Amino acid sequence: MSVLTVNNLTKQFGKFTALDGVNIEVNEGEIYGFIGPNGAGKSTTIRVLLGILKATQGSATIFGQDAWSDAVDIHKHIAYVPGDVNLWPNLTGGEVIDLFVKLRGSNNQSRREELIEKFNLDPTKKCRTYSKGNRQKVALVAAFASDADLYILDEPTSGLDPLMEQVFQQYVLEMKNKGKSVLLSSHILSEVEKLCDRVGIIRQGKMIESGTLGELRHLTRVHMLVETKQPLTDLNELKGVHAIEEKDQAVSFQVDAEALDNVIKHVSQFGIVKLESSPPTLEDLFMRHYEQKDESEVGGAS
């Protein structure tokens, strides 16, 4: 069942198009990774989902309700952590957590204490003295202490140390196991790879790829490292082979998924001694779109 549906969402600020036909679907019990570079439109999309910005075109629904007109009803079942957490300098972290939890509705005191301890936060300090990481912890504690159905997290770990990132991932998985849904925006790809069931990549306001990690990997190249008895020749003449590099006796290269069959047939003629293949990392996926962009820019210039 779909918890969150974004359909052909467009947002313009004056003449600038920040979002151009964005589609997202998050299902129940699913962690959706929303990735893209800074300024691609991740936060803008999330702010439309929260009813803070109004969509120019298209629709955004959460729990089947409209993100703009039913914002208050929706927010009773949502927990949100902004990417840049600005707090009130003269309130303590503990006060802010209580305020946030209360404004959503429920209050779970024992869970709050547990989270404060796990995230190693001093709730008696004024927010003015908190570092970026500590301000994020305040927002995370408030979010996880809430009993929400959908968690919208906008780059929530950018200020956390690796230990705290672990704690964060543990809680996100716990939410998933409880059947909750999570929309996790991030540019830390290893984190998304570890946590997310499905991924959407946004660039310059457009969704350029989305699907499960498996599906996305299928669309891209496999890394191969081959060592053969006879020297491997004519490899560069095959279709769909890229980035050929000679390494001692072995050769490493990348293969487009659809060309894999042909390439293996060709390589096997030379007597395979060693063959290693690894799936593309999310980083490769990500970078591939950049290469494409660069190529197209070069093409456009010539």
Partner 1 sequence: MALKKTGSLFRFMLRRDRLRMPLWLIGITFFTLAVPVAFVDLYASQQERDGMAETMANPAMTAMVGPADLDNYTIGVMSAHQMLLLTAVVVGLMSILLVTRHTRADEEDGRLEMIRALPVGRLSNLNATLLVLCATHVVLALITGFGLYALGIDSMGLEGSLLYGTTLGATGIFFAGVTALFAQLFENSRATIGFSIAVLLVAYLVRAVGDVGNETISWFSPLNWVTRTEVYANNHWEPLVLMLGVAVVLGVLANYLNAIRDLEAGFFPARPGRKNASAFLQSPMGLALKLQRTGMIAWAVGLFVMGLSYGSVLGDLEAFFEGNEMMEQMLVAEEGYTLTEQFIPTLMIAMGLLATVPPGMAMLKLYGEEKKNRVEHLLGRAVSRARLMGSYLLIAIANGFVMLSLTGIGLWAAGDAVMEEGLDFGMIYGAALIYYPAVLVIIGLAVLFIGVLPKLGSIIWLYVLYSFIALYFGGLFDFPEWVGQLSPYGYIPELPVDDMAWMPVSMLVIVAIILMIIGFVGYRRRDIEG
Is 159 a binding residue for partner 1 by CB under 8 A? The answer is no
DSSP states of 189-210: HHHHHHH-SEEEEEETTEEEEE
Whether 234 contacts 263, CB under 8 Å: no
Is 149 a binding residue for partner 1 by CB under 8 A? The answer is no
Of 49-57, 173-181, 222-230, 292-300: span binding partner 1 (CB under 8 A): 49-57
Whether 159 contacts 132, CB under 8 Å: yes
What are φ and ψ of residue 284, in 5° steps? -60, -45
Give the C-alpha separation, 194 to 184, whole Å: 12
Smallest separation (angstroms) from partner 1 to the CB of 52: 4
Give the C-alpha separation, 207 to 259, whole Å: 26
Q: Which is nearer to partner 1, 76 or 266 (CB)?
A: 76
Of 28-36, 83-91, 181-189, 245-253: span binding partner 1 (CB under 8 A): 83-91
Quick one: which of 8, 52, 166, 287 contacts partner 1 (CB under 8 A)?
52
Q: At what angle do helices 132-145 and 109-118 cross, to 10 degrees?
A: 150
Is 35 a binding residue for partner 1 by CB under 8 A? The answer is no
Is 53 a binding residue for partner 1 by CB under 8 A? The answer is yes
Is 78 a binding residue for partner 1 by CB under 8 A? The answer is yes
Is 201 a binding residue for partner 1 by CB under 8 A? The answer is no
Is 100 a binding residue for partner 1 by CB under 8 A? The answer is yes
How would you classify residue 179: left for phi > 0, otherwise alpha for psi between -120 and 50, otherwise beta? left
Alpha carbon distances (Å) from 139 to 24, 39, 82, 157, 231:
24, 22, 8, 11, 58
Quick one: which of 33, 36, 41, 51 contacts partner 1 (CB under 8 A)?
51
Is 95 a binding residue for partner 1 by CB under 8 A? The answer is yes
Is 3 a binding residue for partner 1 by CB under 8 A? The answer is no
Of 89-97, 222-230, 238-246, 269-277: span binding partner 1 (CB under 8 A): 89-97
Quick one: which of 63, 76, 193, 257 contacts partner 1 (CB under 8 A)?
76
**Contact map string, positions 122 to 141, toward partner 1, x by CB under 8 A:** -xxxx-xx------------
Whether 277 contacts 249, CB under 8 Å: no
Q: Bridge partners of 228? A: 272
Q: Which is nearer to partner 1, 114 or 256 (CB)?
A: 114
Q: Which is nearer to partner 1, 68 or 286 (CB)?
A: 68
Rg (CA), the chain: 23
Is 246 a binding residue for partner 1 by CB under 8 A? The answer is no
Smallest separation (angstroms) from partner 1 to the CB of 175: 18
Q: Which is nearer to partner 1, 131 or 230 (CB)?
A: 131
Alpha carbon distances (Å) from 290 to 204, 208, 254, 287:
12, 11, 17, 5
Q: Give the pair of three-digit tokens for residue 222.
A: 């496999």
With H, G, I as helix, E, B as strand and everything else as coil, classify residue 29.
Answer: coil
Smallest separation (angstroms) from partner 1 to the CB of 262: 52
Residues that bind partner 1 (CB under 8 A): 47, 50-54, 71-73, 75-76, 78, 80, 82, 84, 86-88, 90-92, 94-100, 102-105, 123-126, 128-129
